[in-house]
Each structure stands twice: as C-alpha cells, then as structure tokens.
Chains A and B, each alone.
Chain A
Amino acid sequence: MMHDPRDPKLVPPTLVEAVRALRDRTDRGYVFVRQDGSERFCSFRDLGIEAERRAADLYARGLKKGDRLAIAVPDPDEFVLSFVGAVMGGIVPVPISPQLSFKNIEGYHDTVAHIVNASGASLLLTTPATRQYVEPIVPRAPQLRGLVTVDELAKDTPAGSKVDVTIEPTDLAFLQFTSGSTSRPKGVMVTHRNLAWNSESFMIHGLAKDSSFDKGVTWLPLFHDMGLIGFLIGTLFTDIPVVFMPTASFVRNPRLWLDKIHQHRGTITYAPNFAYGLVTKRLKDKDVAELDLSCLRRAGCGAEPIQAKTLREFAAKLAPAKFDPKAFLPSYGMAEATLAITFVPYDTGVRSDVIMKKDLESGSAVPAPSADAEGSQELVNCGSPFPEHEIAIVDENGNRLGDRQVGQIITRGPSITAGYFGEPELTAEAWKPGPDGKIWLYTGDLGYTVDGELFICGRLKDMIIIRGRNFYPNDLEWVISELPGVRRGNVVAFGVDVDGEEQLVIAAEAFQSDAEALKKTIAEAINSNFSLSTHEVVIVPQGTLPRTSSGKPQRRKTRQMYLDGTLARARVVQGQEGKAEDAGLSA
C-alpha cells in the first residue's frame, strides 16, 4: 500500500488497521486486574476478535458508521472491548465517567445527560451494576434509542462476526469530552489520523518504546485522555502489553500501583502529580523493602501542574526499591491536541527553572540568583514538541514572544484535533490564526520557553490580576493545600471585582468548627507567600465546590457561585453562622 505523506511513517494510519495488525499476537496483550485482585489476560488476537464481534452486534442494533455510542462502563476489560468494538465498526464512542462519589446523584445525571445530548448519542452502553445510575437520564435524551448493558452486547452475535466498513484516517475515531476546569464539558473530535500521529509521537519519539520488553502499568481512568490514549490507544498502535487496574483499586490501596509494576515488571507508567505524592505519603518503609522497581524506565507525569518537590520526595522514598529518578518524564498536553504536546527527552528526569515570582507577575521569567532565594519559585521543565509539531508563546495581540517572556502557549501539527463537536463558536475561539497566519490551537495556558523547552505557569483565563500583578490560582491553591486542615484539591482561588478593583477570594472545603481559625491561617499564608491581601476566605462544607469529571475544582463556576450567593447559602444550610460579609481578614 502506498504511504500517504499525511500519515505518520512508523505506525498504521488508523486504529482499526493497528488492531488488525496485531491479529497474530496470541501471547501478548492486556492484563485486566479486577477489584478482587484476580487477573484476566486478553491477547491482542482475542481483543480484535471480540471487538469485531461487538461492532457486528452494534450494527445489528441499528447503529452504523458515524453514529455515536455513549459508554458509561467502569470495568476496564468491558470498557476496552466495547470501546475498540465501536471503533472497528466506525461507530464513534463517547466515554463517560462512571458515578463514584458520596454526594448527590443529580449533578452526575446532569453531566451524563449533557454529554449524551451534546454528542447526539443513539445508544447508551453501561453495565448491570452501573445501570441504576445512568438509566434516569434516558427520558432526558430524546435522540437516544435506548440503553444496553455489556452482558447483552456480548450475547447473540457469534464469534467471528465482523462488519464490512471502510475506515479512513480522516474519519472521526471518538469524542473526548473534556473535563476542562472552566466550563461544561465539550466533545473534542479526535480522528484516526490524530491518534496515529500522537501515538507515534509519545510512544516512539517520547518514550522510545521497545516492543521486545516494554510493558505499561496503569490505573488511570479510561474515560480520560491520559488513560485512554496513553495506555489503550497508544499501545495498540505500537504493540505494547499493558496491565490495567481499576482506578478505585489504586485509591483504596495506593501501593497496589507499585506492587503491580513490581509483579509484572512494568517499564512504563504515567500519573498526575498528586498520585506520586499520595504514594509517597502512604507507603511504609517495610513496603518499600519488598519492592524492586529497577524495571521501571519511564514514569510519566502530566495532566496537572507538576511540583518538583513531590517528584523528588517520591524518588527519595523509593530509592531503596531501586527507582531510577531519570525515569521521570514530565510532560504537557491536552485533549484538544489529542493528548501529548511536549515531553522532556527520556532519561533526563526532572529539570527545573527557579525564577522570581515578582518578575513572573509582570510577564518575564527571570532566573533567581539562587535556588532558595527569597521570593523565588521552581517550575518544572516540560520539554519540547514532537517532530512535525510546533509550539509558540504569544502575547494578547497574537505576537510571538521570545525566550523567558510569559504568554499564551499555542501549538500546531497533525495531532491537533479539528475542534469541538457541534460547537463552531467555541471552536473558533481556540483554533485561530497564529503569527504566521496558519491555524494554531490556543491552549489557554500560560507559559514561557527557554531554548525551545516549555515551562507552564497556569491558565490564562483564571489568572488573577491585582494591582498590576498577575497571580496564577494554581500557585495560591498549592500554598493553601499545604496547610494543616486543608486537603489537596479542596481549594479554589479567584478574583472578583470590588469597587472597580480586582480582589482575591479563597474558597476552601473544611470543617465548619475550624472555620474561623482556618480563615485566618489561610489569609496569613497568602500574605506571607505572595504579599497579597485576601478580600475574603469562604469556608464551605465538603462537596460544595463544583468539580470537573476528573475531580479538579472548577474555578469559574465557583466564582459564579460566590457572586450569586450560592456559596454563602452552602454555609447557612450547614447551620453555622459564618457571615458572608465577614471579610475582616484583609491583611
């Protein structure tokens, strides 16, 4: 077959061809760890056969190429077989986060109904156990033909069935609903060509995969791009076995992640910063003594701001288990770019840049005189873009900025997706001409480059500007998260207009009984770290702050709740006094 120059050279042009290329792999494939600890092996050959059969079953139910299938399936094995099944028939899967929380179900129903309707899904696939949590949305989705469970899907169609349909690289492979921290989920349109390019980029150029011995180990949720593309799609394109564990099993027992790497001799893993911190905190020295992690050669980190301190502490704790700190691979990416945008070169580990916070606030990343200088901040190097891809830093007017100038990160290349499904206006806001007149993806993230390598400072739109100084909410939230009595991810910092001037508000989830003392501690910490006064600290009951499907607080929505009084009411319901106008903490 002739190679189309628009396709990558080192991987098949579509996911369908990638799966079919693995049809003789009877001894390689995926291991699925179940909640009870048992393991199910599924060879790539069996995966392909079962996926083709599920595609045929979906066609028998009236679906055809281009139709959307919403998938709310928590079990990794059933998710994988159904997701790949839809793709083999050209049906567009739409992964949805399964419900697992200890608060009201209404918010979950709203999210599921929104995604099902925004994607125009014709069928909703779930499991017998999860059915009760998604079924109530069926009457709210008029275009939905029905709901089906995975056990029904596997019943009547004989093995060996397949559908005869041609899948082109330009065809839509799936819709990735983003858990963007700023607004309701939008469906990113990911084509086969996007997947092929990004898989080649991160698996081959980024990780330098070696199919003769590499093996992935992951607990990342499969409804999210990092788990889905990083470990399912990327490994199918490049013939890499993977051990999948349920996300909930990792959270229940964080050491299980490292146990599985040890047991299966995993070489590649990936996680957000917090997971490395959680393991460091929970692992006992006697656990470490039982581990041999010398096999692990790539430990990726991404999806949220990376803290060098967290990774250093992990490396120190796991040193007796022969963890190699050079395995750390900080990276940057987003669903709109399929997944990965920049990687550090492998085997370089965590490198960072220590800059002066004061200068960052006025737009330049000036190196600090020393690593522990007063008012300095350490940012982790996230590396450079892949071949055929570019990044640039631009100012508000779209002009390209030089090294160490802070601006919006923009990117272009064959991994960049076509936009948001059914949302032309939102697409046009982010896919716009760049300094060279070509279309770039405007990421909404702020950063700077040094010799082509990228450092991330925060989100553009959530930036708080007080008296001409720019504050990145991530930084304020990180400092507060370190305080006793506050848990990571339970803090939101945002700016509000007070008499024509922007002022800082902090909303934190904590015990009501501790509220007054905690307000004071938070305001003091902000003051001592940033020389910044806090207009108001709002302490709310757990579960009040709105979150994305991946659990990140939604800053803009929190700000809206503060402005319309919803946050204040959350305190009243709780039966505590906590006066909304009690803003006397301005330091």
Chain B
Amino acid sequence: MPRSRSELLDVFRATATEVAEKDFGSVGESTAIAELGIDSLGMLEIIGSLERELRIQIPDECLAGIVTVKDLLNAVESRQSMAS
C-alpha cells in the first residue's frame, strides 16, 4: 500500500531520529541533507531503514543526485509506484 507524501515525510523523520539519535521532528522537504548533521554513512543507514520499512529498494546510482529531503522522498515515491 503506497504511503502519501506526508506519511513518507513522517516515516523519514522517525527513521532519521532513530538512526541518528537526534530530533528531526521539524525537518521539512526543503531541508538539505547536508544541513541534517548526518554524514553520508549515517544517511545511507537511514535510507536502508526506510527501504526495509517501506519494502522498496533505491538503486545506489539514484543516490548521488539526492541533495534535499524532497529529492529523497521523490526517489522513495517513484520506487513505491514501481512496486505497487
């Protein structure tokens, strides 16, 4: 069952908070990944968690173009629609 955009943002916030042990409750779509204070290793861990939670896979080559939270959610959304 694909999740709505706002549900996806909530899942991202919750996952990031759990993995990075920081509060990301106020993070919005326009936030740059670089502003989150998470290194690329941490970000990849968060993406791994998201993939398991949502039962999707984002290919590595799609990751290099991700700069903002919005880019990430776009990638998640397109994978969801492929899976459904």
| Residues on A facing B (Cβ under 8 Å) | 35-36, 74, 99-103, 105, 129-130, 133, 246, 248, 251-254, 282, 484-485, 487, 489-490, 509-511, 541-543, 551, 574
Complex contact A100–B67 (CB within 8 A): no
Interface residues of B in 33-66 (CB under 8 A from A): 33-45, 47-48, 51-52, 57, 59-61, 63-64, 66
Q: Mark B20-36, 1 if CB is under 8 A from A, else 0.
A: 11100000000001111
Name B42's contact: one of A74, A246, A487 (CB within 8 Å).
Answer: A487
Complex contact B57–A36 (CB within 8 A): yes
Complex contact B34–A541 (CB within 8 A): yes
Q: Give the B interface residue count (CB, 8 A).
A: 28
Q: Chain B contacts of A484 at CB under 8 A?
A: 21
CA distance A252 to B61 in the complex (A): 14
Min distance, Cβ A219 to any Cβ of chain B, angstroms: 12
Q: Chain B contacts of A489 at CB under 8 A?
A: 39, 41
Residue of B nearest to A486 (CB): B37
* List of 10 A-B pairs having minimum Cβ-Cβ separation, nearest first: A252-B48, A129-B61, A102-B33, A543-B34, A101-B40, A251-B44, A511-B37, A253-B48, A542-B34, A542-B37
28 contacts between A and B (CB under 8 A): A36-B57, A100-B44, A100-B60, A100-B64, A102-B43, A102-B63, A102-B66, A103-B34, A103-B40, A103-B67, A129-B60, A129-B61, A130-B61, A248-B60, A251-B41, A251-B44, A252-B45, A252-B47, A254-B45, A484-B21, A485-B22, A510-B37, A541-B34, A542-B34, A542-B39, A543-B34, A551-B39, A574-B35
CA distance A485 to B22 in the complex (A): 8
Min distance, Cβ A542 to any Cβ of chain B, angstroms: 5
Give the interface SS of chain A, mostly helix, strand, loop or mixed. loop
Known: A251-B48, A252-B44. A487 touches B64 (CB 8 A): no
Q: Chain A contacts of B59 at CB under 8 A?
A: 35, 129
Residue of B nearest to A104 (CB): B67
Q: A100-B60, A543-B34 are in contact. List 11 more A-B contacts (CB 8 A).
A: A101-B64, A102-B63, A248-B60, A252-B44, A252-B45, A252-B47, A282-B45, A487-B42, A489-B41, A542-B35, A542-B37
Q: Which residue, of A100, A252, A509, A510, has the highest number of chain B Cβ atoms within 10 A? A: A252
CA distance A101 to B34 in the complex (A): 10
Name A251's contact: one of B20, B37, B45, B52 (CB within 8 Å).
Answer: B45
Complex contact B36–A542 (CB within 8 A): yes
CA distance A239 to B24 in the complex (A): 49
Complex contact B60–A102 (CB within 8 A): no
Name A35's contact: one of B35, B40, B60 (CB within 8 Å).
Answer: B60
CA distance A476 to B21 in the complex (A): 23
Min distance, Cβ A35 to any Cβ of chain B, angstroms: 6
Min distance, Cβ A361 to any Cβ of chain B, angstroms: 30
Q: Chain A contacts of B37 at CB under 8 A?
A: 487, 509-511, 541-542
Q: Chain B contacts of A130 at CB under 8 A?
A: 61
Complex contact A74–B60 (CB within 8 A): yes
Q: Chain B contacts of A542 at CB under 8 A?
A: 33-39
Residue of B nearest to A256 (CB): B48
Q: Chain B contacts of A282 at CB under 8 A?
A: 45
Residue of B nearest to A509 (CB): B37
Min distance, Cβ A519 to any Cβ of chain B, angstroms: 15
Q: Chain A contacts of B66 at CB under 8 A?
A: 102
CA distance A408 to B48 in the complex (A): 42
Q: Chain A contacts of B33 at CB under 8 A?
A: 102-103, 542
Min distance, Cβ B45 to any Cβ of chain A, angstroms: 6
CA distance A487 to B37 in the complex (A): 9
Q: Chain A contacts of B63 at CB under 8 A?
A: 100, 102
Name B64's contact: one of A105, A252, A541 (CB within 8 Å).
Answer: A105
Residue of B nearest to A103 (CB): B34
Min distance, Cβ B25 to any Cβ of chain A, angstroms: 13
Q: Chain B contacts of A551 at CB under 8 A?
A: 39-41
Residue of B nearest to A514 (CB): B37
Q: Chain B contacts of A129 at CB under 8 A?
A: 59-61
Complex contact A487–B61 (CB within 8 A): no
Residue of A nearest to B64 (CB): A99
Min distance, Cβ A509 to any Cβ of chain B, angstroms: 7
CA distance A541 to B34 in the complex (A): 7
CA distance A282 to B21 in the complex (A): 12
Min distance, Cβ B21 to any Cβ of chain A, angstroms: 8
Min distance, Cβ A261 to any Cβ of chain B, angstroms: 18
Residue of B nearest to A545 (CB): B39
Residue of A nearest to B62 (CB): A129
CA distance A133 to B51 in the complex (A): 24
Q: Chain B contacts of A74 at CB under 8 A?
A: 60
Q: Chain A contacts of B67 at CB under 8 A?
A: 102-103
Residue of A nearest to B38 (CB): A542
Min distance, Cβ B58 to any Cβ of chain A, angstroms: 9
Residue of B nearest to A248 (CB): B60
Name B38's contact: one of A246, A253, A487 (CB within 8 Å).
Answer: A487
Q: Chain A contacts of B64 at CB under 8 A?
A: 99-101, 105, 133
Q: Chain A contacts of B61 at CB under 8 A?
A: 129-130
Q: Chain A contacts of B57 at CB under 8 A?
A: 35-36
CA distance A130 to B41 in the complex (A): 19
Known: A100-B40, A487-B39, A542-B36. A246 touches B48 (CB 8 A): no
